Amino acid sequence: MKGHLMYKDNNSAREIIEMQEEDGSWGIFHTLSEPNKNPLTTEQALRRLQVLGFDINDKCIRKSVDYMTACLIGDKEIPDLKEKTHDNQIFRDMMLSTWIRKFTKDNKMANEVALKWSKIISHAFQTQSYNHDAYLKSYEQTFGKKANGDRLVDFVNYYQVSLIGGLLSAEIEKKVLNHILNHRNGIYYIGYRKKLSELPIEFTSKQTVKFLACIEHLKDYTCLESELDNVVKWIYKNAHDKQWDLGTKCKDKIYMPLSDTWRSKENRVKDSTYFVRKILDVIKG
């Protein structure tokens, strides 16, 4: 999308790249357990850099993808403490594969992990709606063990939702997307803890940014436009002279702001418009 280059050279991007370690990571991958020692996780760094327009053609991203690939194949280990509530290896492989595929679909092992999850979730939607028992049974058959931990028992979170996009049949995808949009707690790990079928009350808010971020993470689903017509109408309803202003309260330090400063309203409107147009592009395919 035009405009991303103006954000790749800002202070936020430079600071993050300067903190990247030689192995391509930013230390802890997922859980920020010591914020004074590790100011951000590898996931947080990658998410922010992606928002600012960085992709696999940038050195910092290539280094990180190489690092994650090494962790996925077992040559390296992410330094995170093992979580007792999850099956750590399955959860780790899922996280790493998601982030690798965010930047490239040309990674054999990450693609294999994604295909496993697409088959598990496809089995859960063989009937008209989601069958949780079928999901758990398919999970156990695939991994040789029962699902352990809420993020593996419930697939509507950032990782599985991102992994399976573009890998489902048209019939299954439509049912899966409907289930995701109507999940009562939204997409876990994004921070919008409401149904995506329900629009935010206030357009100029952090909730709107999180809501639109959830939509962006569905970009590989081919039937978005037909399912999100209400979102498109709502977005255009809040336009002013073909531009958008998400307001001063929308700063979350991930998606907003994009510019180094919002001292001028012009920068805020520019950032808001760039972000909103990117979501419209996602919906319209």
Q: Which pTM does this prediction carry? A: 0.94
- pLDDT (tens digit, 9 = 90+) per residue, 7-53? 999 999 999 999 999 999 999 998 755 444 567 999 999 999 999 99
- Identify the pLDDT of residue 1: 54
Q: Quote the tokens at residue 48.
A: 């922010």
Cα–Cα distance for residue pair 140/199, rounded to 1 Å: 36
How do the pLDDT tens digits run along the chain, 285 residues long? Answer: 556 678 999 999 999 999 999 999 999 998 755 444 567 999 999 999 999 999 999 999 999 999 999 999 999 999 987 776 678 899 999 999 999 999 999 999 999 999 999 999 999 999 999 999 999 999 999 999 999 988 899 999 999 999 999 999 999 999 999 999 999 999 999 888 899 999 999 999 999 999 999 999 999 999 999 999 999 999 999 999 999 999 999 999 999 999 999 999 999 999 999 999 999 999 998
Q: Tell me the backbone φ, ψ of residue 240, rounded to 5 degrees.
A: -135, 115
Spatial contact of 33 and 7, defined as CB atoms under 8 Å apart:
no
Q: Tell me the backbone φ, ψ of residue 188, rounded to 5 degrees.
A: -65, 145
Cα–Cα distance for residue pair 124/175, rounded to 1 Å: 10
Output b/e per residue, 72-92; b: 16+ Cβ within 10 A.
beeebebebeeeeebbbebbb
Helix (H, G, I), strand (E, B) or coil at 111: helix
- Identify the pLDDT of residue 85: 64
Residue whose structure tokens are 């990782």: 159
- pLDDT (tens digit, 9 = 90+) per residue, 254-265? 999 999 999 999
Nearest C-alpha neighbor of 19 from the set 74, 63, 66, 65 = 63
Cα–Cα distance for residue pair 209/261, rounded to 1 Å: 18
